[in-house]
């Protein structure tokens, strides 16, 4: 998946490597293997601490073990980057947005005009729907994200609803296609694209009109950085990252569903309707907790206090509870939620652990429940293919 002909860096590590390490090898050796997995051939470390997962186009992961629970927002330089094609260079002065299709008044909008419209600020988490893919068993093709294809930022912009309002959506409209200015061609794996195509995704009209969907021009108080969609991107709060189209160029309102590449051949899951499996585009973020520390394969001192912590999120609903297990899922303790809930953002959590007196391998887990009562699943649902990885991810560590 991630249908790209471009080079990926390094093998990363997968469940299979983890299991091989934990079961077949003495732990020291497993750690040796892990050092290789995390070393030069597993993504290159950038000065900002970001891990390179792919070059040309550049894909960068935040080292999740570096999560700082004192600040809600991820600094722009540490916000993961997911790009399918080369980053297009667009100046704010030359940028314009076409709004067309099933609308009464098609129009074009300049950057200055957009900036003069009433703005909104939304604090929202973006998570790539492939975040955690390296943990999938059997291994899936695609960028080998560990835990860091996720971040929270404060986005400022104009509600998409206001732009649609100005255009006058016709009654027969059902979807809104967002088209990026970036384009390219995938020659492999299957299927190839029909020549050069732009990045594009659609939203059902109801979501497009929702107040949490912005055409954003600022990220954490700065103009959008080039990699994150300069000068204007969509931010579809509550949905996985693929919906938040960067370098926005055109909005097309349509009277039928859009079956573009990025919502049929990528970013889709199987759903069963009337007993018939059907492919559906990935939408809402699922409830999920991730452990930042200990990091996978971390060596933790025995018989000492240790702060287990991380983040949890649930799209548009609040995180109600995070539970932690230090014995591979046999018993669970409720963790402390840090700070106040911020809708669409993540919530940090922590748990004071007294590490065991006896040395040995341990498995740490975290499991979230949201205010709608959705509980994070323990097992992977294979109908989700290579996307929407929200089941509990076991973190194997060594107490020494
Ligand atoms: N135009 C465009 N928009 C895009 C993408 C892209 O490749 N091109 N990638 C999408 C995906 S899959 C994700 S997860 C988010 C990532 O946003 P970020 O790079 O700012 O973190 O952007 C989305 N919007
Ligand atoms: Mo993504």
Which ligand is in closest contact with the Cα of 243? 1
Q: How far apart are CA 89 and CA 260, in angstroms?
A: 24
Asked whether residue 310 falls in the same domain as residue 266, the answer is: no
- Are 144 and 278 found together in one domain? yes
Looking at the structure, do residues 229 and 334 belong to the same domain, yes or no? no
- 276 and 384 fall within a common domain: no
Q: What is the best residue among 54, 83, 145 to mutate for testing ligand 1's pocket, by most ligand atoms within 8 Å of CB?
A: 83
Which of these, 239, 364, 297, 391, lies nearest to 25 by C-alpha position? 297
On the 0-12 / 13-18 / 19+ scale of CB atoms within 10 A, 256 is exposed
349, 309 Cβ separation under 8 angstroms = yes
Closest ligand to the CA of 236: 1
Question: 124, 198, 246, 282: which to mutate for ligand 1, most atoms within 8 A of CB?
Answer: 246
| In a shared domain, residues 232 and 296 | no
How much is the average pLDDT of 344-353?
Answer: 98
**pLDDT tens for residues 285-338?**
999 999 999 999 999 999 999 999 999 999 999 999 999 999 999 999 999 999
CA of 137 to the centre of ligand 1 (A): 25
Cα of 150 vs centre of ligand 2, distance in Å, is 9
Tokens of 126: 């973006």
Query: In which domain, by residue range, is 215 found?
Result: 1-284
Domain of 260, CATH number, reads 3.90.420.10
Q: Cα(210)–Cα(315) distance, rounded to whole angstroms?
A: 14
Same domain, 228 and 349: no
CA 153 to chain centre: 13
Provide the pLDDT confidence category of residue 155 given band limits of 50, 70 and 90: very high
Q: Identify the band that residue 190 occupies on the pLDDT scale cut at 50, 70 and 90.
A: confident
Strand 96-101 with 248-254, pairing: parallel
Number of domains in the chain: 2
Radius of gyration of the chain (CA): 21
Do 160 and 305 reside in the same domain of the chain?
Answer: no
Domain check: are 145 and 264 in the same one? yes
* Whether residues 295 and 280 fall in one domain: no
Q: Is the pLDDT of residue 13 over 70?
A: no
Give the span between the Cα atoms of 296 and 308, in whole angstroms: 12
pLDDT in tens, 107-146: 999 999 999 999 999 999 999 999 999 999 999 889 999 9
Q: Is it the case that residue 33 has pLDDT exceeding 70? A: no
Q: Which residues of 55-92 are buried (b: 16+ CB within 10 A; e: fewer)?
A: eebbbbbbbbbebebeebbbebebbbbbbbbebbebeb
Is the CB of residue 395 less than 8 Å from the CB of residue 365? yes
Question: Which residue, chain included where needed, has tokens 């939408």?
Answer: 283
Residues 359 and 233 in one domain: no
| Final residue in a domain of this structure, among 263, 284, 305 | 284
- 94 shares its domain with 200: yes
**pLDDT category of residue 42 using cuts at 50, 70 and 90:** low
Q: Please identify, among 247, 267, 284, the residue that sits at the C-terminal boundary of a domain.
A: 284
**Nearest ligand 1 atom, CA 85:** 7
Q: Are 215 and 232 in contact (CB under 8 A)?
A: yes
CATH of the domain at 369: 2.60.40.650
Q: Are 263 and 342 found together in one domain?
A: no
pLDDT digits (tens, 9 = 90+) for 315-330: 999 999 999 999 999 9
| 235 Cβ below 6 A of ligand 1 | no
Q: What is the pLDDT of residues 52-91, one digit of tens each?
A: 999 999 999 999 999 999 999 999 999 999 999 999 999 9
- Distance between Cα 87 and ligand 2 center (Å): 15
């Amino acid at each position: 998946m991630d249908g790209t002909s471009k080079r990926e860096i390094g093998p990363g590590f997968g469940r299979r490597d983890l299991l091989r390490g934990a079961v077949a090898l003495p732990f020291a050796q497993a750690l040796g293997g892990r050092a290789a997995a995390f070393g030069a051939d597993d993504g290159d470390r950038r000065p900002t601490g970001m891990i390179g997962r792919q070059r040309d186009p550049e894909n960068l992961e935040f080292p999740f073990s570096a999560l700082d629970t004192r600040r809600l927002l991820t600094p722009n330089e540490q916000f993961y980057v997911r790009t399918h094609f080369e980053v297009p260079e667009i100046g704010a002065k030359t940028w314009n947005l076409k709004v067309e299709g099933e609308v009464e008044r098609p129009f074009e909008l300049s950057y200055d005009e957009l900036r003069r419209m009433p703005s909104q600020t939304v604090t929202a988490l973006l998570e790539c729907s492939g975040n955690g893919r390296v943990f999938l068993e059997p291994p899936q093709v695609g960028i080998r994200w560990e835990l860091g294809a996720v971040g929270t930022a404060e986005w400022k912009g104009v509600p998409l609803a206001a732009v649609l309002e100005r255009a006058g959506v016709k009654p027969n409209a059902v979807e809104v296609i967002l088209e990026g200015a970036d384009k390219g061609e995938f020659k492999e794996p299957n299927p190839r694209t029909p020549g050069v195509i732009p990045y594009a995704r659609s939203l059902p009209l109801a979501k497009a009109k929702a107040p949490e969907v912005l055409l954003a021009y600022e990220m954490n108080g700065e103009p959008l950085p080039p990699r994150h969609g300069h000068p204007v991107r969509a931010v579809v709060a509550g949905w996985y990252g693929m919906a938040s189209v960067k370098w926005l160029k055109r909005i097309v309102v349509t009277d039928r569903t859009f079956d573009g590449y990025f919502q049929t051949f990528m970013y889709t899951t199987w759903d069963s309707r009337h007993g018939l499996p059907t492919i559906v585009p990935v939408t809402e973020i699922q409830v999920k907790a991730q452990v930042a520390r200990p990091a996978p394969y971390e060596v933790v001192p025995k018989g000492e206090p240790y702060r287990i912590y991380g983040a949890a999120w649930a799209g548009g609903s609040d995180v109600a509870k995070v539970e932690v297990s230090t014995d591979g899922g046999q018993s669970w303790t409720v963790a402390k939620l840090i700070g106040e809930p911020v809708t669409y953002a993540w919530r940090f959590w922590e748990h004071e652990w007294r590490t065991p007196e006896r040395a040995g391998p341990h498995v740490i887990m975290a499991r979230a429940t949201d205010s709608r009562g959705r509980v994070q699943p323990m097992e992977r649902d294979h109908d989700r293919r290579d996307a929407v990885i929200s089941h509990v991810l076991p973190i194997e560590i060594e107490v020494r």
